[in-house]
Structure 1
Amino acid sequence: MARRMVIIGGGAAGIGAAGAAKAAAPSAEVIVYTAFEDVGYSPCGIPYVHGKEIPDFTSLFLAEKQAYADAGIDVRYETTVLGFDPESRTVQVEGEGPSGYDALIIATGFDYKPPGVPGEDLGGLYYVKNIRRAMEWDKILDNVRHAVVVEASPLGLEMVTALAHRGIDTHVIDPHPWALGELCDPDIVAPVQESWAEMGVTTHWDTRLLGFTGDREGHVRTVATTDGELPAELVVVATHKVANNALAVAAGLRTGSTGGLVVDDHMRTSAPHVWAAGDVCEIPHGVGGLPLQGLTGSHAYAQGKVAGTNAAGGERAYQPVYVPWGMVAGTWMIGGAALGEVAATALGVPHVVGKATGISRARYFPGVRPVTVKLLAEPRTLRLIGAQMVGGEGIKERADFLALAVRKGITLHDLASMENVYSPPIGALNEPIVTAAQAGVST
């Protein structure tokens, strides 16, 4: 009899798991349950459609629905899973009787942390997640004059920029002293904040949300904060991502300090025959083992591949993460890998810093932009433990490389003498990573 595999969730982790399961066990029956109308699209692209950098939402779909059917993946759309029982190996679906499984993968993703203030049930509060809702909100944006973004998280940065591109009077409020306060160093994010000011964005740092007030129709009209009251016909709630773990918790699965499901390197949960992947679980950081939850789509997809392969009887392991990250915000690219200076200090991790500003291409080539690189290393060994960067281009590639460098134990000495590409359109004579490493070696 064919192995019956059930996946709850149709995001990057769920679809990655489904594809990997079919590859590892082509005869397996693979069923994906999703509460939404679609699977296999990029929610990360939604802010860029809102900002008009991407022309339409159809570009965000990875494949037509028929492609999943042709691949032997049975996707059950707009279907609510009520629960599952690891002991009997059954799943309870709304409107159906219990259904058995041989292997179960939990890929239920994340929810935004509720604002927890009066008025959070008003209309006009936008949680960027589902593409069909985003299509509806995009039409509304044409008539919005004033918007508030709650918290300068990664999504918050993208949406602030998108709203400014739409010509909307935009305010951002955040309880930290600067944007990405728990992830990014203030000197790295400062150019982004300066560019926002040039775009007409008003920022409110060290500011707490107090509540929302609405009109007679129940639609938000103002946002109350510790820095005063702000007008708004639209509020983007970009609070911290929390694990959507209700089904798993009800089934008795173990969660960690982040609220994410605890998994091993094969993405197995605490329950037999149950795996998990994506934002619903927590993964150890490669530097110090700190558990992390709510990473990126690439992490979710890779975890799904591991979970799907192993659930189907294959063999694949997932490593601790060093979290290369990057984004476009304002008129800049920012990014990094592993630990920044603020995070390292908060965790009590000793470090030395090497920092330098270079250029993205030859000084005489059109479009040249500055690139600032900050490297963190262990004081004695000078082994790299993190990096952060801001520039006009080339941040993603440097972040990917530096995350691998941290993973492999590369030192500032190694980076200070590394070779680099010199080509006027794409690389300057002096690579900023090299210059930053040299500054760190000399400290």
Structure 2
Amino acid sequence: MKIVVIGGGPAGLGAAGAALGVNPSAKMDVYTEFEDVAYSPCGIPFVHGKEIESFEKLFLATKQQYQDQGINVHYTTSVESIDTRGHTIKVRGGAKVSYDRLVIGSGWNYADTGLDRHGLKGIYEVKNIRRAMEWDKYLDTVKDAVIVECGPIALEMVSALVHRGIKTTVVDPGPWPMAGVVDPDIIAPVRKDWEAAGVTTMWGERVTAFGGNGTLTHVDTTAGRIPAQLAIIGTRKVSNNALAKAAGIELGSTGGIVIDSHMRTSARDVFAAGDCTEIPHGVTNVPLQGLSGSHAYAQGKAAGMNAAGGNREYQPVYVPWAMLAGEWMIGGISFGETSAAAIGIKFVSGVANGITRARYFPGVKPITVKLLADPATHRLIGAQMVGGEGVKERADFLGVAIRAGITIDELANMENVYSPAIGALNEPINMAALEVMKKF
């Protein structure tokens, strides 16, 4: 069996490795337009911020290791078209490559700002590691930077720029950062720290033009002109699906490839995974696109196993998430109050302010937990958190809880670990559940 994978990110490499696990004799070819595969783009802001010492730390394996595993990676080799009837792809240079099974992991792009960049140097989309290495040198010359819409990676870049001593302005049409995802009370500590660090924020405003002479010198906004030698594009993720669309593969309402529970597309013997797909939400069944690297990797493994003849089902998602924003961790599961209200979901919510360790133990941090429940069934339907530590672990736990159909009543009676060094006597999840219970 010959399996071809388009894309060298977590979905593509996850698919390749999982397929060989099912069928070790399969011939495996991966095509990527880039110089590298399988690194962590999510780590790039932390290298820019000097919290990670080098970009080399972000690579997951060497090129030789992939070769030793039986994965033949074709670097700097873009795929130009897919012929689903003929079971072939055409790569740069015109060569045709046949396949028995095809996995598309073509990833994502930043949504277009709609602005003319005039070929100016200084407009940066944080994504590719080789480009990031060059941009890191450029950052040494920058005094003023502008964030053009504050998505997750851009949020992390604010901290990186502050760490580099760069005067930073955030321009975003929303009322607060990541307004479509996170509630205002949860993001409030991050905003307070930004203000203390001298970050200028312009909520409800837009960048209208880039200006300069060869190199960016300023951006124009709906509120006036801002000096800038660097503009970080932080628009939302959109699926990179020009190939799939041209091949006649069905796309959904988000622009992502429509797949079934086994990652099969509308084309025979073609599978897809990662940010190029759309996945139903476990509560609403509404399709979602542009999830995390862990989702892409898990989807890739499912696609690879099934392409090789295995049987792995990928279920609807509840989207546990967490990230570091300066000194704060923020995260959640499914919905916050803002997103639930926006799509008309009825909920009851409760908030608790707690601590992550015993109050007297060194390193204790504050943490706020908000839980949302269905008022009719009492089932957990969402959560959001902000704290100095412990957010990721709670998001993972609540992700399992919501998938299992656990109720607020059960969380209000949960057992929890108490050990001064690692956990407080009162678990904030339990405390928040008790607050929700008061409102039923």
TM normalised by structure 1 equals 0.98
Pair 1:344 & 2:340 matched = yes
Pair 1:386 & 2:382 matched = yes
In structure 2, how many angstroms separate the alpha carbons of the residues matched to 1:118 and 1:247?
A: 25
Within the candidate set 90, 93, 97, 1:92 is matched to 90
Partner of 2:7: 9
The CA deviation at 1:96 is 4.0
Partner of 2:297: 301
What are structure 1's unaligned runs of at least 5 residues? none
- Supply the AA of the counterpart residue of 2:71: I
Partner of 2:258: 262
User: What is the CA deviation profile of residues 265-323 of structure 1, one whole-angstrom value per residue up to 9, with x for unaligned ones?
Assistant: 10100100000000000000101111110000000000000000000111101010000
The CA deviation at 1:97 is 2.4
Q: Secondary structure at the match of 1:68?
A: helix
In structure 2, how many angstroms separate the alpha carbons of the residues matched to 1:206 and 1:427?
A: 40
What are structure 2's unaligned runs of at least 5 residues? none
Partner of 1:141: 139
Partner of 1:71: 69
Q: Secondary structure at the match of 2:333?
A: strand
Partner of 2:150: 152
Identity %: 61
User: What is the CA deviation profile of residues 365-422 of structure 1, one whole-angstrom value per residue up to 9, with x for unaligned ones?
Assistant: 1121111000000012211000000010000000111111111111111111101111
Partner of 1:365: 361
Partner of 2:320: 324
Partner of 1:283: 279
**Aligned 8 A contact 1:120 1:211 in 2:** no
Partner of 2:426: 430
The CA deviation at 1:121 is 3.8
User: What is the CA deviation profile of residues 73-97 of structure 1, one whole-angstrom value per residue up to 9, with x for unaligned ones?
Assistant: 0000000111010000011011242
Q: Secondary structure at the match of 1:354?
A: strand
Within the candidate set 163, 166, 169, 1:165 is matched to 163
In structure 1, how many angstroms separate the alpha carbons of the residues matched to 2:161 and 2:289?
A: 27
- Supply the AA of the counterpart residue of 2:243: L
User: What is the CA deviation profile of residues 174-217 of structure 1, one whole-angstrom value per residue up to 9, with x for unaligned ones?
Assistant: 100011100000010011110111122111101112111112xx
Partner of 1:21: 19
In structure 2, how many angstroms separate the alpha carbons of the residues matched to 1:229 and 1:187?
A: 30
- Supply the AA of the counterpart residue of 2:365: R
Within the candidate set 290, 295, 306, 1:310 is matched to 306
In structure 2, how many angstroms separate the alpha carbons of the residues matched to 1:236 and 1:228?
A: 18
In structure 2, how many angstroms separate the alpha carbons of the residues matched to 1:204 and 1:99?
A: 50
How does 1:106-145 map onto structure 2 within 5 Å? 106-119=104-117, 121-145=119-143
User: What is the CA deviation profile of residues 5-51 of structure 1, one whole-angstrom value per residue up to 9, with x for unaligned ones?
Assistant: 10010000000000001111100000000000000110010000001
**Aligned 8 A contact 1:118 1:210 in 2:** no
User: What is the CA deviation profile of residues 241-260 of structure 1, one whole-angstrom value per residue up to 9, with x for unaligned ones?
Assistant: 10000000000011011000
- Supply the AA of the counterpart residue of 2:383: A
**Aligned 8 A contact 1:193 1:330 in 2:** no
| Distance of aligned partners of 1:396 and 1:120 in 2 relative to their CA distance in 1, 3 Å threshold | farther
In structure 1, how many angstroms separate the alpha carbons of the residues matched to 2:183 and 2:223?
A: 23
Aligned length: 439
In structure 2, how many angstroms separate the alpha carbons of the residues matched to 1:22 and 1:96?
A: 28
In structure 1, how many angstroms separate the alpha carbons of the residues matched to 2:74 and 2:227?
A: 41
**Aligned 8 A contact 1:20 1:308 in 2:** yes
Within the candidate set 45, 48, 58, 2:46 is matched to 48
In structure 2, how many angstroms separate the alpha carbons of the residues matched to 1:167 and 1:297?
A: 29
Bigger shift: residues 118-127 or 305-314: 118-127
The CA deviation at 1:119 is 3.0
Partner of 1:185: 183
**Aligned 8 A contact 1:13 1:305 in 2:** yes
In structure 2, how many angstroms separate the alpha carbons of the residues matched to 1:90 and 1:296?
A: 30
Q: Secondary structure at the match of 2:52?
A: coil
Bigger shift: residues 203-212 or 89-98: 89-98
Partner of 1:417: 413
- Supply the AA of the counterpart residue of 1:312: A
What is the RMSD computed on CA atoms of the aligned residues?
0.8
Q: Secondary structure at the match of 2:375?
A: coil
The CA deviation at 1:120 is 5.8
In structure 2, how many angstroms separate the alpha carbons of the residues matched to 1:121 and 1:324?
A: 39
- Supply the AA of the counterpart residue of 1:45: G
Partner of 1:271: 267
User: What is the CA deviation profile of residues 315-348 of structure 1, one whole-angstrom value per residue up to 9, with x for unaligned ones?
Assistant: 1010100000111112211000011111110110
- Supply the AA of the counterpart residue of 1:232: A
In structure 2, how many angstroms separate the alpha carbons of the residues matched to 1:175 and 1:313?
A: 47
In structure 2, how many angstroms separate the alpha carbons of the residues matched to 1:161 and 1:219?
A: 24
In structure 2, how many angstroms separate the alpha carbons of the residues matched to 1:417 and 1:330?
A: 34
Q: Secondary structure at the match of 2:323?
A: strand
- Supply the AA of the counterpart residue of 1:429: L
**Aligned 8 A contact 1:355 1:436 in 2:** yes
